[in-house]
């Protein structure tokens, strides 16, 4: 990719989003954080339903980081229960709409019942045409370390051998990374994959993020000149 230089008139294939701002959304309205997370799930649902008309091959969402365990026990419990409800309620829709679920991160470290639900969801959606990748118990530095260790066990450590062992190895290259809520940092998310990705930081809090906003971001992306280190 190092020498490429072209006007990218094609739509993005793979978009990732750091979904930030649920707590602030709730606080501004005098509501409990749990309700902010519930509204955040509704925003996820809206985007998933828009995958096909937007033509995206993959949408990757940062749902729960390896650092999120530091939050209060009540908030972590709320997030885990929301995950359970989302899988139960939305899995049939995933299947019906040919959406493949993929989980990245150390998700096997979650509660056994959630792991079982995820394994079932992965099996049921395995043949989907478009992918929703969800980062659960995920940290990018940890992912890179795991991938490097696997590459070393196989043979020579190169950028290619590490990339082949990343959680996202079977996904299209990351084109665009979006973070909501006005924060301008990556928070240990897709550090390797973001090397040449375009980035967009928006002030909108995650529960207010709409498919129309993503559509506008895709339109803007299509107009960007991506140099990949060239001139």
Contact 139, 67 (CB under 8 A): yes
As a whole number of angstroms, the distance between CA 44 and CA 61 comes to: 9
> What sections of 189-228 are H helices per DSSP?
211-222
Residue 175: CB atoms within 10 Å: 24
Q: Which residue is it, tokens 């090397």?
A: 195
Q: Is pLDDT at 80 greater than 80 in this prediction? A: yes
Of the pLDDT bands very low, low, confident and very high (cuts 50, 70, 90), residue 225 is confident
Contact 117, 108 (CB under 8 A): no
**Given this model, what pLDDT does residue 212 score?**
97
Residue 58: CB atoms within 10 Å: 23
Burial 109-132 (b: 16+ CB within 10 A, else e): ebeeebeebbeebeeebeebebbb
**What is the Rg, in whole angstroms, of the alpha carbon atoms belonging to the chain?**
18
pLDDT (tens digit per residue) in 163-199: 999 999 999 999 999 999 999 999 999 999 999 999 9
Classify strands 6-7 and 225-226 as parallel, antiparallel or unpaired.
antiparallel
Q: Which residue is it, tokens 């972590």?
A: 76
Active site residues: 20, 68
Q: Is pLDDT at 93 greater than 60 in this prediction? A: yes
**Given this model, what pLDDT does residue 39 score?**
96
Contact 26, 17 (CB under 8 A): no
User: What percentage of the chain carries pLDDT values higher than 70?
Assistant: 94
Three-class DSSP category at 192 = coil
pLDDT (tens digit per residue) in 159-173: 999 999 999 999 999
pLDDT (tens digit per residue) in 112-159: 999 999 999 999 999 999 999 999 999 999 999 999 999 999 999 999
């Amino acid at each position: 990719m190092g020498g490429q230089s072209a006007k990218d008139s094609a739509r993005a294939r793979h978009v990732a989003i750091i979904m930030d701002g649920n707590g602030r959304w709730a606080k501004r309205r005098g509501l409990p954080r749990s309700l902010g997370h519930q509204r955040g799930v509704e925003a996820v649902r809206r985007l998933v339903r828009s995958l096909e008309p937007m033509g995206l091959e993959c949408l990757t969402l940062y749902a729960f980081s390896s650092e999120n365990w530091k939050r209060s026990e009540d908030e972590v419990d709320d997030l885990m229960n929301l995950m359970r409800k989302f899988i139960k309620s939305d899995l049939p829709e995933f299947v019906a709409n040919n959406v493949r679920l993929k989980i990245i991160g150390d998700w096997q470290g979650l509660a056994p019942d959630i792991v079982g639900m995820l394994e079932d969801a992965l099996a049921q959606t395995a043949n989907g045409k478009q992918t929703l990748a969800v980062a659960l118990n995920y940290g990018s530095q940890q992912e890179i370390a795991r991938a490097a260790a696997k590459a070393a066990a196989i043979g020579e450590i190169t950028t290619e051998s590490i990339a082949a062992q990343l959680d996202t190895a079977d996904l299209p290259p990351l084109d665009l990374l979006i973070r909501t809520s006005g924060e301008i940092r990556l928070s240990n998310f897709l550090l390797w994959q973001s090397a040449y990705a375009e980035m967009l930081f928006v002030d909108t809090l995650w529960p207010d993020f709409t498919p129309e906003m993503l559509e506008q971001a895709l339109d803007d992306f299509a107009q960007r000149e991506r140099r990949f280190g060239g001139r």
